[in-house]
Amino acid sequence: MTLPLEGIRVVELSHMVMGPSCGMILADLGAEVIKVEPRGDGDKTRRLPGSGSGLFATFNRNKKSIQLDIHDAEDLDILLALLDTSDVLVENFRGGKMQSYGLGYETLKARNPGLVYCSLKGFLPGPYGDRSALDEVVQMLGGLAYMTGPPGRPLRAGASVNDIMGGMFGVIGIQGALRTREITGEGAHLTSSLFENNVFLVGNHMVQAQTTGEEVQPMSNRIPAWAVYDIFRTAGGGQIFVAAVSDTQFASMCRAFGLDDLASDITLATNTGRVAARQTIHESLQRRLDELPLEEIERICDEADLSYARVNTPSDLVDDPHLTQTGGLVETQTSGSDSALVPLLPLLIDGQRLEKRSEVPFPGEHDAEVLDPLRKRNNP
């Protein structure tokens, strides 16, 4: 398969999640992504413990790694020579840092007018522009933690949603700028941010509050739109989410689980009536599900064409039959001889997944390949 970004060279000056996720998507799409790491042990994200221990392996496949010290004049000259040969720069330094190294957009544009310069920041320019930010910071500031936790207990979402989605918006902007460059020959300076990304995610809740005149409730305490749209217990202590969001689905659910009393109740013929009787419906359905094992409930829901999902943990997904049979996971080197299953991009092009073409690189693994030609050019 010919990949859409083949022939595009990207220099990635980033760490943690936002920048690396942007770079990895570009790499999966076929770009040559050169990750610049500090000398020594490389990117500090490689050595994060606990909840950070999976970040590097997840977001750094299909890249090349070189090591440079941008505080060193000779290394900085080599980096500039590399940027002269590049199409895209991705950076997530704090505001002003790139300029202090002589790597600001205007400086690089003068050397390489076609360069697409993508800055990944905590905030777009404005009153918050110089503030330090993390995913959890903007989730609190942007109302997402309020919507996620129970009332009075804001809770960050269970994934770095703003980091990853902010990187995705960076990719969208880069692809648009590359298309414009085909017409004008000029690059562009793009900025994608965590906070504004978070605001985009909660936009519908903002509109809800404005149109109803009432403060929205956290998702855990929201007024339900449907009577059956919740997590239920199963025999043996399992959990399953079941939804019936139309008149047809509700009738199908009642038939499938033998809830004849609910099916014959004319007050439950409309969604409004069912929402008003939500507790009664839940109690009846729960009594029936208490008698059935998880697998039997899944079979019944399938036959009745109901939306359902067992409640998994992330570790359950390595054995998920859909992911394993469709090639959605790829074995990826983590450290030394260790490996783990990592998700591929949730995208098909002409029915094919975007594959892992190369392992997560070791620090400086591609120094000779990438840097030696630049050194020869700088020192003929």
Over the stretch 166-180, which tens digit does the pLDDT of each residue have? 999 999 999 999 999
The sign of the CA dihedral 25, 27, 30, 31 is: positive
Q: pLDDT band at 222, cuts 50/70/90?
A: confident
Give the pLDDT mean for 150-156. 95
Q: Is 163 a catalytic residue?
A: yes
Orientation angle between helical segments 194-201 and 203-212, nearest 10 degrees:
50
Average pLDDT, the chain: 95
Q: What is the pLDDT of residues 359-379, one digit of tens each?
A: 999 999 999 999 999 888 877
CA atoms within 13 A on the CB side of 188: 16
Of the residues 43, 87, 135, 163, only one is catalytic, namely 163
Domains, the chain, ranges and CATH?
Answer: 9-201+327-378 (3.40.50.10540), 224-315 (3.30.1540.10)
Q: What radius of gyration do the chain's Cα atoms show?
A: 25
Whether 252 and 304 have beta carbons less than 8 Å apart is answered as yes
Residue 254 has phi, psi (to 5 degrees) of -60, -45
How far is the C-alpha of 303 from the C-alpha of 301, rounded, in Å?
5
What pLDDT is attached to residue 378? 76
Whether 178 and 8 have beta carbons less than 8 Å apart is answered as yes
- Quick one: three-class SS letters along 329-340? EEEEECCCCCEE
What does the CA dihedral 231, 58, 328, 296 come to, rounded to 10 degrees? -20
In 3D, which of 116, 262, 281, 97 has the Cα closest to residue 187? 116
The yes-or-no verdict on residue 340 having pLDDT over 80 is yes
What pLDDT is attached to residue 218? 94
